[in-house]
Structure 1
Amino acid sequence: MLRSYKSTPRTSMKETPFSLTYGTEAMLPMEVAVNTLRVANKDEERNAQDLRINLDILEEKREKFGMGQVAYKHATERYYNQRIKEKAFRVGEYVLRKNEASRAQPQGKLGPTWEGPCRVTEANKNGTYVLETMEGRQIPRTWNARNLKKYFF
């Protein structure tokens, strides 16, 4: 007996992509030709009735699957966000800029990782900062806190 329906890929909600699309499980032509247990007890009338019932609950299955996906995404987001530490700098603090973001000096294996120090002149609400050099010259564009590190001297 061929049991390919057991080895089809299933989603996290224990449904196959075929059943989420068409509302019923797929049948191989071989299963219809060979009298298997799966098709032996099916008659045409009952099969049509089962198909209508499956189509009626298809939207409910899809909705349940969608809610499961949303819950999974929230759990993944929570797991990721618990490791993130917010960086906040105050006006007047000295920071180093990541050389990868500023590209002020040539990068490479032995190139410097950080550049600076720079002074924070303005702190925006969305985590971006306006910087100036030690000489007082404004550095172009705003800088995200991910690309800055507190400078201790």
Structure 2
Amino acid sequence: MPAEIGLPSARTLMMEDNEKELRMNLDLLEERRKLAAICESKYKNQLQKYYDAQVKICEFHKGDYVFRNNEASNAELPGKLAPTWEGPYEIVEILGKGAYKLKKLDGTPIPRTWNVEQLRRCYMQKFEFLFQACAPPYWPACLLFRFAYQISLFEMILIQI
């Protein structure tokens, strides 16, 4: 019988220490899990902070005027010269989490809901103040303006920013 078989090797001596270390690792497993959960929550907080700094919150209120993205609605055929925004529309109802119900300016409701990412604010200005100040010397100009005003489809000046 060779002498190497009877003598303990470094590998066999380490087996006894290995069992002790495995039991110690099992005891420390809960602590490692807690540390990992703490690191994960720190990382998520950092991501949330970065996201909140980058995002622009856009909220609309009932009665606001908006343009609708043409890509989302497919109202006109997509193409190089197709308009990217259509409208204006008025917000009728706020459904929460960025969802809105719209209607056309003539009062016709739009059938589906629209997300805030598909909408853009429309700044409008009404001409009602011009009708209130029609004095007798200016009547011909006022009548001409009222006629042009009634012919126009939107009855407002649209300014898209």
- The TM-score normalised by the length of structure 1 is 0.64
Q: Which has the higher helix share?
A: 2
Q: Which amino acid aligns with 2:29?
A: L
User: Which protein shows a greater Rg?
Assistant: 2
Point out the structure with the larger strand share: 2
Change (3 A) 1:125 1:51: same
Where do 4+ consecutive residues of structure 1 move more than 4 Å?
none
Deviation at 1:131, TM superposition (A): 0.5
Aligned to 1:123: 94
Which secondary structure state, in structure 2, belongs to the residue aligned with residue 136 of structure 1? Answer: coil
Deviation (angstroms), 1:148: 0.9
Residue 133 of structure 1: how far off its partner (Å): 1.2
Which residue, out of 66, 75, 81, partners 1:104? 75
Percent pairwise identity? 41
Structure 1 segments unaligned to the other structure (5+ residues): 1-34
Opposite residue 133 of structure 1, the aligned amino acid is K
Q: Does 1:90 align with 2:61?
A: yes
Summarize deviations over 1:40-90 as a string: whole Å, max 9, x none.
8x6222221011101221232123113212221221121011122221222
CA distance, structure 2, for counterparts of residue 108 and residue 71 of structure 1 = 46
Residues 1-153 of structure 1 aligned to structure 2 (within 5 Å): 43-152=14-123, 153=158
Q: Secondary structure at the match of 1:57?
A: helix
Distance 1:47 1:141, change over 3 A: same
| TM-score when normalising by structure 2 | 0.61
RMSD (Å) for aligned C-alpha atoms: 2.3
